[in-house]
């Protein structure tokens, strides 16, 4: 069997925010493509005009950019199989649907949505298929003359696949192995809608064929309709070119049950979308991982390990490592509950291992969004190095480093005042003198001077550390005090001591 060039696609509908599971599907497609030196295409499945949302397509592409997952072919980038928007390919699909009708593998159906709804209501387990199609209004039950007349009058109609009787459709899924279905149990899915647009079922087969897709990875929710797709590949005469299928396990709610949804994020307090999504219709803004302070590397890393591992204990992977180590058949079969705690751990790890330089622009944005002005790049780098080990989210950099850029607005006086004495005030007055007269202003020397002076004044150094910290930071957190003081500089340190002294002595 000749090795086909690897070509995979991510085919989202532009209907709203891009879900975690969607990004994981992109990622697995992307990793597989890059690993096998293949192509990764982005195809927009905008065949449902009712659900189409303005701006959603651009948003999806922005999400991919943020993640660093660039498609080789897309509506934006173009490519040899353009157009990559199904709405722009509308004219292509009808031909194939009609061909199926001529071959007897599909038929026209004239039933109105209301009629079908009524059937579903009144007949238990109703499905448009073997058991009921003869009693419905379609080109199988009507005479040729009746059908022609209906068609001539432009009666709204759809084209449905005619599922064969008593057959078994089976295939080998890369992730779950052998899967099989009884055709009698599958209904006659609509292929072409009354508005002339294809449904997903037709479009995915036609486009995957035309775009020479070699491997089709999608969520497990598609498994039940796989027999329809398989039959279509066969009926259209393309079976030899059919991609290999892999149905990915779903990402589940952390508590309770079911697929993870946007609502769960709001309810449980974590993001579900890659980036914030603003719904113009409802005016609702749904926060995303990016806005919450996740690094794209961490986001990808946590998604990759949700349902996949390389067989070792390694959990932290760069994108390049993932490309190198990824293997679709090591993806697990079972759905995975999303754990936000672990997600945060991944982000903390990535912040810790990232260089200040690569964090800089994001941190600057976080600070500036809060009104903190950053002027000195080098200073910012040093601040980041000093505090990044205590940040879980990028947004934590505000709380952890704002005091390096502006004096504390208030002090945690409750931690100081009860034990504050005139002697301590005197110590700090004297310490200002020490600082001013010191030549080398660096942590170790400063600490030595601090302790020497404390001893001289007969105060335990430990009693003075906390007040000193609160003078500089305003609260009980942060790196070593002497590191903070050193980075703040002589002048600023003195200023802060003086200012705090006023507050403490009051």
Partner RNA sequence: GGCCCGUUCGUCUAGGGGUUAGGACGUUAGAUUUUCAUUCUAGAAACAGGGGUUCGAUUCCCCUACGGGCUACCA
For RNA, the closer CB: 295 or 336: 336
For RNA, the closer CB: 58 or 314: 314
Residues in the chain: 506
For RNA, the closer CB: 24 or 34: 24
Q: Are 255 and 267 in contact (CB under 8 A)?
A: no
3-state helix, strand, coil split of the chain in percent (to 5) is 50, 15, 35
| Interatomic CA distance for residues 302 and 282, integer angstroms | 31
For RNA, the closer CB: 76 or 463: 463
Question: Which residues, other chains included, contact 101 with Cβ-Cβ below 8 Å and sequence gap of 6+?
Answer: 107, 108, 139, 159
User: Shortest distance, CB of residue 319 to RNA, whole angstroms?
Assistant: 18
User: Shortest distance, CB of residue 12 to RNA, whole angstroms?
Assistant: 7
Residue 262 among the catalytic residues = yes
| Interatomic CA distance for residues 382 and 395, integer angstroms | 18
User: Shortest distance, CB of residue 123 to RNA, whole angstroms?
Assistant: 11
User: Shortest distance, CB of residue 229 to RNA, whole angstroms?
Assistant: 11
User: Shortest distance, CB of residue 349 to RNA, whole angstroms?
Assistant: 7
Beta bridge partners of 180: 170
DSSP state of 137: S
For RNA, the closer CB: 181 or 233: 181
Q: Identify which of 84, 72, 80, 82 has the alpha carbon closest to the alpha carbon of residue 45.
A: 84
User: Shortest distance, CB of residue 2 to RNA, whole angstroms?
Assistant: 29
As a three-state string, the secondary structure of 182-206 is EHHHCCCCEEECCCCCECHHHHHHH
102 cis-preceded (ω within 30 degrees of 0):
no
For RNA, the closer CB: 129 or 287: 129
Q: Are 221 and 191 in contact (CB under 8 A)?
A: no
Angle at 156 between CA 151 and CA 158, to 5 degrees: 90
Annotated catalytic residue: which of 4, 259, 262, 360?
A: 262
Strands 7-10 vs 39-42: parallel, antiparallel or unpaired: parallel
Q: Looking at the annotation, which residues are catalytic?
A: 262
């Amino acid at each position: 069997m000749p090795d086909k060039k690897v070509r995979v696609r991510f085919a989202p509908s532009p209907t709203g925010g891009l879900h975690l599971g969607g990004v994981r599907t992109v990622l697995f497609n992307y990793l597989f493509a890059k690993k096998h030196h293949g192509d990764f295409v982005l195809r927009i499945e905008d065949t449902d005009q009712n659900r189409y949302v303005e701006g959603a397509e651009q948003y999806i592409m922005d999400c991919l950019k943020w993640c660093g997952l660039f498609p080789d072919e897309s509506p934006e980038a173009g490519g040899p199989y353009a157009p990559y928007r199904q709405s722009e390919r509308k004219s292509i699909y009808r031909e194939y649907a009609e061909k199926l009708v001529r071959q007897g593998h599909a038929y026209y159906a004239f039933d109105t949505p209301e009629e079908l709804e009524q059937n579903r209501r009144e007949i238990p387990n109703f499905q448009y298929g073997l058991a009921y199609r003869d009693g419905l209004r379609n080109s199988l039950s009507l005479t040729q003359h009746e059908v022609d007349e209906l068609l001539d009058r432009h009666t709204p109609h759809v084209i449905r696949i005619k599922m064969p009787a008593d057959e078994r459709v089976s295939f080998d899924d890369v992730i779950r192995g052998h899967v099989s279905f009884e055709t009698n149990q599958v209904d006659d899915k609509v292929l072409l809608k009354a508005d002339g647009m294809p449904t997903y079922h037709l479009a995915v087969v036609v486009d995957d064929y035309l775009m020479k897709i070699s491997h089709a990875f999608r969520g497990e929710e598609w498994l039940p309709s796989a027999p329809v797709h398989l039959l279509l590949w066969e009926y259209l005469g393309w079976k030899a070119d059919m991609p290999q299928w892999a149905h990915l396990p779903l990402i589940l709610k952390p508590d309770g049950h079911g697929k993870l949804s946007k609502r769960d994020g709001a309810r449980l307090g974590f993001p579900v979308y890659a980036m914030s999504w603003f719904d113009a219709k409802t005016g609702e803004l749904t926060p995303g991982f990016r806005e919450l302070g996740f690094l794209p590397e961490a986001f990808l890393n946590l998604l990759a390990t949700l349902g996949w591992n390389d067989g070792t204990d390694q959990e932290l992977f760069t994108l390049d490592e993932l490309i190198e180590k990824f293997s679709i058949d090591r993806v697990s079969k079972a759905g995975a509950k999303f754990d936000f705690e672990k997600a945060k751990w991944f982000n903390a790890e990535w912040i810790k291992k990232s260089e200040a330089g690569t964090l800089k622009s994001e941190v600057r944005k976080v600070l500036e969004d809060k009104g903190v002005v950053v002027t000195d790049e080098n200073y910012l780098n040093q601040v980041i190095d000093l505090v990044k080990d205590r940040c879980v989210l990028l947004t934590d950099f505000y709380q952890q480093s704002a005091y390096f850029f502006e004096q504390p607005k208030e002090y945690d006086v409750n931690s100081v005042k009860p034990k504050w004495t005139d002697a301590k005030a005197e110590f700090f007055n004297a310490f200002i003198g020490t600082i001013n007269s010191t030549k080398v202003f660096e942590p170790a020397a400063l600490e030595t001077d601090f302790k020497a002076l404390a001893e001289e004044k007969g105060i335990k150094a430990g009693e003075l550390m906390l007040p000193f910290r609160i003078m500089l930071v305003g609260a009980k957190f942060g790196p070593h005090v002497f590191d903070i003081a050193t980075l703040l500089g002589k002048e600023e340190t003195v200023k802060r001591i003086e200012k705090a002294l006023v507050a403490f002595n009051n």
